[in-house]
Amino acid sequence: MTAMATTPAICTDVRNAVATVEIVNPARHNALSVAMMTELTVALRAMDEDPAVRVVILRGAGEKAFVSGADITEFPDQQDQTARQAADEAATTLFAQLAALSVPVIARIHGYCLGAGMALALGADLRCADTRGVLSIPAARLGVGYPPEQTAALVQTVGPAAASDLLFTGRRLAAAEALAMGLVDRVVEPAELGKVVDELAAAIAANAPLSVRAAKASIRAVRRLSRDDSTSGDAAHRLAIAAVARCSTSQDLKEGALAFLEKRPPHFTGR
């Protein structure tokens, strides 16, 4: 990973089954350009296809921001229909890829988490923030329509009333209020954020990969069924059933039982 890069980039690093995907655009508080959205999509797909990866940490470079939103310096160019369509397609593909990941994703949120940054965070399975975090969806202040898929994720996370509050007002939340609302799962001091996220990722990575993927598949199925989307809900349910069934014939199941009997930590291989 090249966290000190000064030009916009998506940097990845895999260590001990934990992949860190870092959004680097320091000049614009890690705002996402169209090119960066495309690059991030490719990086996330690669991490999901890598058998060595059991969990992904999504973070922004530096100390000031997770992601401060889409790069609004590109907005004037997007008055052109072709450019606007390219931007919409890049965003749609990115969030679809994030939603399709089979491994758990942890959003490590520090500083500004705005707009597209909130969409990324909502696409994660777990969200950990530091006390300096500032979260907002300022679409209404920019004349932007917030997409239905991201709205659904917001409503499922905080409920329709809180989602209405955030989308109608575009106001900014401090990390403590975001925690009380259920928008983030943990809030810690800035100096502790890295340690907390790393420990959480390590705990997940130490478990049986097939079991963790099956759990994520089941959670996804429940969420989609709750949205009365019968087509995608039924498909997600079938995938979850298959993932659970795969666990029952895995070597990891045998290893887990043997380790329990031998009173030792299990060594899971994902097979």
User: How do residues 109-120 score in pLDDT, each as one tens digit?
Assistant: 999 999 999 999
pLDDT in tens, 193-213: 999 999 999 999 999 999 999
Beta strands in the chain (DSSP E): 9-15, 18-24, 55-60, 65-67, 105-109, 112-114, 126-130, 134-136, 173-174, 186-188
Whose CA is closest to 116, among 185, 74, 67? 67
| Residue 127, CA distances (Å) to 39, 105, 196, 197, 234 in order | 22, 9, 11, 9, 27
**What pLDDT, on the 0 to 100 scale, is given for residue 78?**
53
Asked whether residue 48 carries a pLDDT value surpassing 90, the answer given is yes
* Surface-to-core class of residue 14, CB atoms within 10 Å of its CB (0-12 exposed, 13-18 middle, 19+ buried): middle
What pLDDT, on a 0 to 100 scale, did the predictor assign at position 228? 60
| Beta pairing partners, 44 | none
Is residue 67 a contact partner of residue 117, using CB atoms and an 8 Å limit? yes
- Do the beta carbons of residue 32 and residue 61 sit within 8 Å? no
d(CA 135, CA 175): 7
Is pLDDT above 70 for 232?
Answer: no
For the segment 94-106, the average pLDDT, to the nearest whole number, is: 96
Q: Are 73 and 83 in contact (CB under 8 A)?
A: no
Q: CATH second-level architecture of 9-204?
A: Alpha-Beta Complex (3.90)
Using a CB cutoff of 8 Å and minimum separation of 24, what contacts does 158-162 make?
A: 158/182, 158/183
The tokens describing 171, both together, are: 């106001």
String of DSSP letters for 235-269: HHHHHHHHHHHHHHT-HHHHHHHHHHHTTS-----
> Domain ranges in the chain?
9-204, 208-261
Residue 17 pLDDT > 60, yes or no? yes
Report H helices in 50-115.
Answer: 81-100
What band does 215 get if pLDDT is binned at 50, 70 and 90?
Answer: very high
pLDDT of the residue at 3: 44
Q: What is the pLDDT of residues 140-153, one digit of tens each?
A: 998 888 888 899 99
Phi first, then psi: give them for residue 69, nearest 5 degrees.
Answer: 120, -170
Residue 89 reports pLDDT greater than 70: yes
Percentage of residues of the chain with pLDDT beyond 70: 92
pLDDT band at 2 (very low <50, low <70, confident <90, very high): very low
pLDDT for 226 equals 67
pLDDT reading at 234 higher than 70: yes
Across residues 115-134, what is the average pLDDT?
96
Given a cut of 80, whether residue 53 has pLDDT beyond it is yes
